[in-house]
Amino acid sequence: MKDIIFFLPKHTLNEATIYYVSVIEECFVNAGYVVHKTEKLSDLNKQKNIFVMSAKWCFIVKVLNPKAKIVTWFQGLGAEEALMTRNSMIRKRLWNCVEFFSLKYSWLNIYVSEKMHDYYRETYKIQDKNFFIMPCFNKEMNLDSFLYKMKYQNTSFVYAGGLDKWQCIEETLELFGMIESKLPAANLTLLTRDKEKALAIAKKFNVKNIFINFVTLDRLDCELQKYKYGFIIRKNHIVNNVSTPTKMNSYLANGIIPIYTDVVDDFNKNLKFDQYFLKLKNQESLNDWLEDFLNFELNTLKQNFEKDYLNQVSVVFNEYYSKSKYISSLSELIKRIG
């Protein structure tokens, strides 16, 4: 049997990544590997097979251990994110170098979308032979959540995550404020660590029926199952185009109807149930979004909506978020190239 060590530095495992990494781990076990884990770079010096969670760590580990075969999970676009979030061309250029190196010398690359793979291939002109594509997900279906009492009769909303500008929290709260003005019984819960910032933004947009809370990963399903709608608003940017936000999986797993913009390429290709998912057009105004929501809300009140919605989400989990499918495919790939 072969060994592989998973390099998992402190703070890299969280509610959005721990499940995904466990799926990859299971793939290597199925392929006949013994999996070890470490937080220390010093443990990697003589290892032959190493899994890392970013291009940055691939670069660092490969420099320290040139003979190692590296498995790299490309979670995002480091160079583009540096420019978007920090407006730093210097950081972008440094990341360009790191990504080029990692793509060239990584043994197996794991991407979260076809669009991401296309971006890297076209940007750096590197044809990687060993690659696998698996969207970000961290949950399996919680069937009980679809039966939560009065879930689809109430106009309850949730947003789970950070409050960074790129996550469009201001647009989210502004849209909810407009919904609230039309449907006074509507309420929004923000599940976030940053309570003070959340309160400040809510005040800015005069949102009234808002609750702010934070729950740990082990309690997240119990909390999410209460809500009817969940927000995933993003702008049309390459960073968002190639992403597959874990939030979508978390919402669908708990019977939440996603309200999201049409900028995520993978969702446009794989989530085609527009009658049950509220996909907003990025180029439309907030007033257009409000009208789209009000029309959609009427549809959810039709008979058998809950049953039909459950059936459609089941299709998504059988095809797009199928843990067993990805484990089978990636395990076979590892056996073939290993």
Residue 268: CATH number of its domain:
3.40.50.2000
How many domains does the chain fold into? 2
Using pLDDT thresholds of 50, 70 and 90, give the confidence band for residue 303.
Answer: confident
Cβ atoms of 230 and 161 within 8 Å: the answer is: no
- For residue 1, is pLDDT > 90? no
Rounded to the nearest 10 degrees, the angle between the axes of helix 286-300 and helix 169-182 is 60
Sequence-ordered strand ranges (E) for 75-134: 108-111, 131-133
223 and 111 in a single domain? The answer is no
- Give the relative orientation of helices 195-204 and 169-182 as an angle to the nearest 10 degrees: 50
Q: Could you tell me if 193 and 284 lie in one domain?
A: yes
Average pLDDT for residues 24-46, to the nearest whole number?
97
CA 264: distance to chain centroid?
11
pLDDT at 301 > cutoff 90: no
Q: Residue 262 carries which DSSP code?
A: T
Domain match, 170 and 226 both: yes
- 122 and 39 belong to one structural domain: yes
> Residue 35: which pLDDT band, with cuts at 50, 70 and 90?
very high
pLDDT at 267: 98
pLDDT in tens, 160-185: 988 988 899 999 999 999 999 999 99
Rounded to 5°, angle at Cα 247 from 242 and 253: 120
Is the Cβ–Cβ distance between 225 and 144 less than 8 Å?
yes
Q: Is 184 in the same domain as 301?
A: yes
Give CA–CA dist 110/108, Å, rounded. 7
Q: Is the pLDDT of residue 39 over 90?
A: yes
| Band of pLDDT at residue 217, cut at 50, 70 and 90 | confident
Nearest to 100 by CA among 122, 115, 84, 85: 122
Tell me how many helices (H) and strands (E) the chain has.
Answer: 14, 12
- Residue range 147-153: mean pLDDT, rounded: 92
Measured CA to CA, the distance from residue 147 to residue 226 in angstroms comes to: 10
Residues 300 and 152 placed together within one structural domain of the fold: yes
Please state which of the ranges 193-207, 239-253, 320-334 shows the lowest mean pLDDT: 193-207
The DSSP symbol for 13 reads -
Q: Give me the phi and psi of 139, to 5 degrees please.
A: -150, 155
pLDDT at 140: 95
Residues 328 and 312 placed together within one structural domain of the fold: no
Mutual orientation of helices 89-105 and 114-124 as an angle, nearest 10°? 100
Residues 308 and 327 in one domain: no
| pLDDT of 14 | 86
Residues 6+ apart with CB under 8 A from 223: 191, 213, 215
Model pLDDT for residues 66-84, shown as the tens digit of each residue:
999 999 999 999 999 999 9
State which H helix or E strand residue 221 sits in.
Answer: helix 220-224
Q: Is there a single domain that holds both residue 209 and residue 106?
A: no
**Predicted confidence band of residue 200 (pLDDT cuts 50, 70, 90):** very high
Q: Give the pTM.
A: 0.95
> Do 8 and 28 fall into the same domain?
yes
Asked if residue 46 lies in contact with residue 65, where contact means CB atoms within 8 angstroms, the answer is: yes
- Between CA 80 and CA 94 the distance in angstroms is 11
In the prediction, which pLDDT does 171 show?
96
Q: Which are the contacts of 218, defined by CB distance < 8 A and separation ≥ 6?
A: none
pLDDT band at 268 (very low <50, low <70, confident <90, very high): very high
Region label for 172, one of left (φ > 0), alpha (ψ between -120 and 50) or beta (otherwise): alpha
Among the listed residues 14, 24, 15, 19, the one whose alpha carbon sits nearest the alpha carbon of residue 6: 24
My answer on whether 179 and 262 are in the same domain is: yes
Pairing label, strands 2-7, 49-52 = parallel
Residues 91 and 149 occupy one common structural domain? no
Nearest to 168 by CA among 98, 247, 221, 222: 247
Owning domain of residue 61: 2-135+322-337
- Confidence at residue 15, expressed as pLDDT on a 0 to 100 scale: 81
- The pLDDT, as a whole number, for residue 218 is 85
Name the band, by pLDDT with cuts 50, 70 and 90, for residue 4.
Answer: very high
